[in-house]
A and B are shown apart, each in its own frame.
Chain A
Amino acid sequence: MSVRYFVPADTTAIAVGADDVAQALAAALETRGEYGRIVRNGSRGAFWLEPLLEIEQHGRRVGFGPLSAAEVDAIVALPPEAREQHPLFLGDVEALPWFAAQRRLTFARAGLGDPLSLDDYLLRRGFDALERALEMAPEEIVQAIDDSGLRGRGGAAFPAGIKWRTVMDTPAGQKYIVCNADEGDSGTFADRLLLEADPYQLLEGMAIAGLAVGADTGYIYLRSEYPRAREVLRVALAKAEAAGYLGSNLAGSQRSFRIHLRIGAGAYICGEETALLESLEGRRGMVRAKPPLPAHQGLFGRPTLVHNVLTLAAATTVIADGAQAYAALGEGRSRGTLSVQLAGNVRRGGLVEVPFGVTLRQLLEDFGGGTRSGRPLRAVQAGGPLGAYLPESLWDTPLDYEALAAVGGMLGHGGLVLFDDSVDMARQARFAMAFCTEESCGKCTPCRIGAVRGTELLDRVIAREAPHSELALLEELCDTMEQASLCAMGGMTPAPVRSALAHFPEDFA
């Protein structure tokens, strides 16, 4: 019985030493003359355990982590029955409470096998959904997406079924599927993890979307900050096409779907869908006024379905398991699962996929384990740079789109950034404005000028040069930005500023 060793080749795993671990492992096996296969899998997303080494033998797969290269030789030397004695022994990783309490659908495959192995993908129900979709009428596919209650996972949470139907109902002709993989929010990495750990799932979701709305061409717009995801995708696209899961004869159906990979160039605003379309067309990433909606006139003026990575991936779950199974999870109008990313000053950071409705506190404390610094947790920014800072009094809020909005928060792309009590909330408020200054596309005045004035105002507040009445001016400026900006960049930059002011006034006194 052969032994298999798993060491993730994920960006974060490598960034904390997984390549060194893999090298030490190969050397240890060689010097001991042992036969074993080293699999460079994707990460499971338990980044607090990376670098993680898993050993599969006699049908049992056990983990060790987080470990350094220096510890590998001793672990390899252990006879199987003595492994449990090792201080870094984790046992079956999926049995750890951190995993057992999750409900993984989109990330069910992440970290189990070689992300680029089509055999591994097929073994784990890969392309089941595409095979089903090929036997369904477009109307049936769209109805299933609609019935599932799936909403856009990029941040805006728009009902996916409405978008799909709108594009499907436009007259036949050239249409496009655009995948927004410009994951720019700090505190988020779910798209990157999926792209690196299970890339075929995205390709499958895009092909299904193409069948449903009548598009034969897709684009993935990937941010340039993700070089490893780019390489994984490049190979995945080539392999899927060679195997007939993309191309002119989709899984033997005579139907066609092709995907082009495009790389961004370091502009946060291109995560906004219309700026992304401008960028794909080769221009500055300037936000477009809506209407027209991208569903009517999107890429190159043609009807276009634009979705985040996770939304397109979730479509495979909806089609494979059925809309009812997906809709059975969640709370209120937020159906299915939410991929939360625990980040910042956090002890057990990583990807936590749970049904909507889990409270913030459960995520911060039960999963996150509090701060890495060990100091008291003071603030949590939910939903990226445009999301509110939430104090402890709001941590019992359940995570669903409406419940969070009711307390002035936003779920966004599901990132939670933890801050301990050393944080200066006035500085965080200033950063929100400064970031907007840096990343505004400049098309509308409230965002372009407002962010500059907001930064200046907060500079004076921080320097204690501003009289208290200046805070009223700041509120007024926030009103203008919220109400008159063209998109969420200017419109939501006030959220972190106002929440900092409202919940942490002592930092502005």
Chain B
Amino acid sequence: MESEQLLAQLLYQYQDQPGGLLPLLHAVQADFGYIPADAVPPIARAMQLSAAEVEGVISFYHDFRRQPAGRHTLHICRAESCQAAGGEALVAHLQARLGIEPGQSSADGELTVESVYCLGNCACSPALRIGDATHARVDIARLDALLDSLLESAS
């Protein structure tokens, strides 16, 4: 019930904004952590679109999730600048330590790992982001320290 009210509030806020679908989807995801399937029909009605159009937009953009993410999300940069500076070794280390690939979440739901193509920290590659906090010049020791503090704070 509470979530229905929250959604109604967001719809009211964005429905008259020109081209407001992306800002609305961002807002829904910020509040719910993902775009719930049952939010799509009311979003479509409010924006005067078909549900298929809304689904099309959600699936087009990497940022929008259809499922909740883990408690933390780690975005690891896979683009050229980070490749040149050892970024793929970090990806391999993440896979070895956590047993998950980018795009997956750990079994306990603590951590989701996502690939990202450039965080704009290319003078100090390789880079990754945990939530809104970016880390650059990351090596394996630093990655381990970041993971330790993340997973420790969870337990």
A170 within 8 Å of B (CB atoms): no
Judged by a CB distance under 8 angstroms, whether A439 is at the interface is yes
A439 to B121 CA separation, bound complex (whole angstroms): 20
Residues of chain B lying within 8 A (CB to CB) of residue A267: 60-62
Distance in angstroms from B138 CB to nearest chain A CB is: 9
Task: State whether the Cβ of A401 lies closer than 8 Å to any Cβ in chain B.
Answer: no
Asked whether, in the complex, the Cβ of A343 is within 8 Å of the Cβ of B81, the reply is yes
Q: Are B118 and A186 in contact (CB under 8 A)?
A: yes
CB interface residues, B 106-145, toward A, < 8 Å: 116-125, 127, 129, 132-137
Secondary structure of the A side of the interface? mixed
Asked if B20 CB lies within 8 Å of chain A CBs, one says: yes
- Is the CB–CB distance between B122 and A349 below 8 Å? yes
Minimum distance in angstroms from B18 CB to a CB of chain A = 6
Residues from chain B with a CB closer than 8 A to the CB of A186 are 79-82, 117-118, 122
A346 to B124, CA, bound (A): 8
A480 contacts chain B at the CB level, 8 A cutoff: no
Complex contact B60–A284 (CB within 8 A):
yes
Q: Does B34 contact A (CB under 8 A)?
A: no
Say whether A300 faces chain B, with CB atoms less than 8 Å apart.
yes
What are the residues of chain A within 8 A of B60 when measuring CB–CB? 267, 284-285, 441
Of listed B18, B47, B56, residue having the most chain A CB within 10 A: B18
> With an 8 A cutoff between CB atoms, is B21 at the interface?
yes
Is B85 close to A, CB under 8 A?
yes
Q: State which residues 348-374 of A face B: CB under 8 Å.
A: 349-351, 372
For the complex, is B57 an interface residue (Cβ under 8 Å from A)?
yes
Chain B residues with CB under 8 A of A300? 18-19
Bound together, the chains give a CA A279 to CA B127 distance in angstroms of 27
Partner of B62, one of A266, A343, A349: A266
Binds B, one of A26-34, A221-229, A240-248: A221-229
User: Which of B20, B64, B81 has the largest number of chain A CB atoms within 10 A?
Assistant: B81
**Residue A94 is within 8 A (CB to CB) of chain B in the complex:** no
Chain B residues within 8 Å of A235, by CB: none
Distance A183 CA – B19 CA, assembled complex (angstroms)? 21
Which residues of A are interface residues toward B (Cβ below 8 A)? 11-12, 14-16, 47-48, 50, 183-189, 191-192, 224-228, 262-268, 279-285, 300, 341-346, 349-351, 372, 381, 385, 415, 417-420, 423, 428, 431, 435, 438-439, 441
| Top-3 shortest CB links A-B | A349-B123, A186-B79, A343-B122
